[in-house]
Amino acid sequence: MLVNSAVFGNLREVLAWPTSQSWPEDRPLAHWQRGSAAAFRAPPVGTAYGALLNHRAALAALGDAVHAAPYKAPPKAPVLYIKPRNTFAGPGDAIVVPAGVDELEIGATLGIVIGREACRVGEAEALACVAGYTVCNDVSVPHASFYRPSLRFKCRDGFLPVGPWVVAARHVAEPDALAVRVHLDGLLVQQTSTTGMQRPVARLIAEISAFMTLAVGDLLMLGVAAGAPRARAGQHVRIEIDGIGALENLLVAQCEA
Amino acid sequence: MRGMKHARIAWGGAVRSAVASGGGLLLTDGTVLAEEQVVWLPPVQPGAIIALGINYADHKRELAKELTLSAKDEPLAFLKGPNALLGHRGVTPRPADATFMHYECELAVVIGRAATKVKRVDAMLHVAGYTVANDYAIRDYLENWYRPNLRVKNRDGCTVLGPWLVDADDVPDPHALELRTFVNGELKQHGNTRDLIDDVPALIEYLSSFMTLLPGDIILTGTPEGVVNVNPGDEVVCEIDGIGRLLNTVVADAR
């Protein structure tokens, strides 16, 4: 079951649709026609949050640095960040490589769309708060430090392509075991999965909701795996998550006005 | 119209807009209400909420011990979610295990016109108005990963905003405003927006250089020195001359 932003308002109806029945053919929910007026837009309507270093290998890649300054200790709570609304983009939208930057980091991650307000939910109830899942490209200007990174690395306009649709949670049996692949210009450059997270989907929602409420329509990114690839202007990025979808965008150089 | 202060309130079963009138509120239908009669909501429905760390020289000295800062090359900006917001006269929960929870009185700038790559000289044209923010932090939860981490700075009900959105036209100089915080009537924090390290046009120029600011986006410009611990039952008033007097009560987190 696929839900795009144009029908996001009908989310409740879609989610209530029995799993045993297929969605009526005469009510198409998802057609991605590149460049057409019917192209998808980013589905998130609330706030976009992301978890960093949730992938065990991504944290392990820091090695002993986690004990040294400026961190002084490994993270205890989820390492979270926010992507503001100016970053939201859809499939097919251009990702602008800023002047003076050679490459952008392509952060392929599962996007969790909240469908029921999550406030202090336990791990056992957490998945009931999920409306569905989508594909996110958490784009960054590459930077080494996780201490106090500048907003200009992650919060540039269009730095969060999302889509092409939201797959209702009931149709995703194991969100913590989905293969994730990144292709650059058709070439497979990263092959990973949503497995191996410090906090799988339910636990992440539970731990976040202990101190901040996730609202209906909020988007939570599960976490980018270790070894995120980098791409240059002119390259085509395709992120696939099995059972969810494929998100495609083109990197373009910034035009100087 | 000079002297216009706008509020969003809940009253009579509906969310309404109102303006300051005498000592109270004037609704668009002519109803006049007292401050205590209504539920105050944050005066704007927020877009992106951007906050500044260490934007007053004195506060920077105050925090020097825990900072790993050397030369500052750009403003220390971070983001907050709408879950944190609370209106005037609201209550903020203090976690049972917290030992150091403090207020932060801040001038909040509300964007009125989209801003992309705006230069300093034009920046103030993008400001809709100003309000008062009290942006609580619970320092017990501070970790050195993506500082200030959301567990410290983005908790439900820990960013109080209001009471009013004051039109920019009615604030001739946003860089000459006294800020004060009173805890149970006692003056604890005192500063002036003239001491901002990065002033309002500098912040708009900086932020809009890489991200488009949109109407409804809010910039919390930082807090001066004088932050002390608050406890359940404490009444905290953050006041900025010409902008407003923002009341908030700290309560024990019952859960």
Tens of pLDDT, residue by residue over B197-227, are 999 999 999 999 999 999 999 999 999 989 9
Residue B57 sits in the same domain as residue B37: no
Asked if B79's CB is within 8 angstroms of A82's CB, the reply is yes
Contact of B211 with chain A, judged by CB distance below 8 Å, is answered with yes
pLDDT of A18 above 60? no
Give the nearest partner residue to B211 out of A79, A146, A157, using CB atoms. Answer: A157
Assigned token pair, B77: 């900006």
Let me know whether B32 and B102 are in one domain: no
Q: Which of B50, B76, B149 sits opposite A80 (nearest CB)?
A: B149
In chain A, whose CA is at the least distance from the CA of B51?
A: A151
- Total domains, chain B: 2
Same domain, B150 and B89: yes
pLDDT of residue B117: 97
- Are both B51 and B36 inside the same structural domain? no
Q: Does residue A49 belong to the interface with chain B, where contact is any CB pair within 8 Å?
A: yes
Tokens 């995120």: give the residue: A228
Domain range for B114 is 44-252
The confidence score (pLDDT) of residue B254 equals: 75
**Within 10 A of B37 (CB to CB), how many other CB atoms are there?**
13
Q: Which helix (H) or strand (E) holds A89?
A: strand A88-89
Closest CA to A166 of A49, A27, A5, A25: A5
Share of chain A above pLDDT 90, in %: 76
Predicted confidence at residue A7, as pLDDT, reads 36
A13: confidence class by pLDDT, cuts 50, 70, 90: very low
Tell me which amino acid residue A122 is.
Answer: G
Q: Are B243 and B177 in contact (CB under 8 A)?
A: yes
pLDDT at B195: 95
| Beta-carbon-side half-sphere exposure of residue A95 (alpha carbons within 13 Å) | 35
Kindly report the nearest CA distance between residue B211 and chain A, in angstroms: 5
**What's residue A255's pLDDT?**
82
Arithmetic mean of pLDDT, B175-195:
97
Percent residues over pLDDT 70 in chain A = 82
Residue B250 has pLDDT above 60, yes or no: yes
**CA–CA separation, A109 and A136 (whole Å):** 5
> Between chains, do A85 and B214 touch, taking CB under 8 Å as contact?
yes
Parallel/antiparallel/unpaired status of strands B5-11 and A219-221 = unpaired
Q: Stretch A157-168: mean pLDDT, rounded?
A: 92
Cα–Cα distance measured from residue B135 to residue B222, given in angstroms and rounded to the nearest whole number: 9
Q: How far apart are CA A94 and CA A254, in angstroms?
A: 10
Assess A217–B contact: CB distance below 8 Å, yes or no: no
pLDDT at A6: 37
d(CA A14, CA A1) in angstroms, rounded, equals 8
Considering the domain architecture, whether residues B31 and B104 belong to the same structural domain is answered as: no
What pLDDT does B255 receive? 67
Same domain membership, residue B116 and residue B151: yes
Q: Note whether B49 and B16 are same-domain residues.
A: no
Report the pLDDT value the prediction gives residue B17, as an integer from 0 to 100. 96
In chain B, the percentage of residues whose pLDDT exceeds 70 is 93
Cβ pairs A/B, distance under 8 A = 110
Q: Is A51 on the interface with B (CB under 8 A)?
A: no
Q: Is A63 exposed, middle or buried (0-12, 13-18, 19+ CB in 10 A)?
A: exposed
pLDDT of residue A165: 87
Same structural domain, B131 and B150: yes
Q: What's B240's domain CATH number?
A: 3.90.850.10
CB contact under 8 A, B211 and A156: yes
Q: Which residues of chain A have a CB within 8 Å of the CB of B144?
A: 70-73, 147
**Same domain, residue pair B37 and B80:** no
Pick the more confident residue, B123 or A257.
Answer: B123
What tens digit of pLDDT does each residue of A82-130 get?
Answer: 999 999 998 999 999 999 999 999 999 999 999 999 999 999 999 999 9
Domain of B12, CATH number, reads 2.30.30.370
Q: Are residues B36 and B65 in the same domain?
A: no
> What's the rounded mean pLDDT across residues B182-198?
97
**Residue B130: pLDDT over 70:** yes
CB within 8 Å: B141 and A77: yes
Is residue B84 helix, strand or coil?
Answer: helix
Reported pTM: 0.90
In the predicted model, is pLDDT for residue A170 greater than 50? yes
CB pairs under 8 A, 24+ apart, for A61-68? A61/A226, A61/A227, A62/A146
C-alpha distances in angstroms, A3 versus A32, A221, B56, B122, B163? 12, 18, 47, 42, 39
Single out the residue of A89, A86, A49 nearest to residue A218, CA to CA.
A49
Lookup: tokens for A81: 């960040």
Same domain, B27 and B58: no
Greatest Cα pair distance in chain B: 55
What is the amino acid identity at position B104? E
| A28 pLDDT more than 60 | no
Task: Examine the pLDDT at B3 and tell me if it is beyond 80.
Answer: no
Give the 3-state secondary structure of residue A50: strand
By the CB < 8 Å criterion, does B57 face chain A? Answer: no
Q: Is the pLDDT of residue A8 over 60?
A: no
* Cα–Cα dist B104/B135, whole Å: 5
Q: Are residues B120 and B10 located together in one domain of the fold?
A: no
d(Cα A175, Cα A153) in Å, to the nearest integer?
28
Where does the pLDDT of residue B23 fall: very low under 50, low under 70, confident under 90, or very high at 90 and above? confident
Taking CA atoms, what residue in A is nearest to B76? A150
- Chain B's closest residue to A218, CA to CA, is B81
Q: Which amino acid is at B224?
A: P
Residue B67's pLDDT is 58
